[in-house]
Amino acid sequence: MDAEHDDAELRFLNYYRCDRCEHEWTDEWSCMCDDDCPECGARHMSPYKSDDLGEDAP
Q: Which residues would be at the binding site for Zn ion (CB under 5 A)?
A: 18, 20-21, 23, 37, 39-40, 42
Please enumerate in sequence order all residues whose Cβ is within 8 A of that of 27, keeping only pairs 6 or more positions apart, or say none: 13, 14, 16, 35
Tell me whether residue 21 or residue 33 sits nearer to Zn ion (CB atom): 21
Largest CA distance in the chain: 39
Tell me whether residue 29 or residue 36 sits nearer to Zn ion (CB atom): 36
For residue 45, the minimal CB distance to Zn ion (Å) is 8
Tell me whether residue 20 or residue 49 sits nearer to Zn ion (CB atom): 20
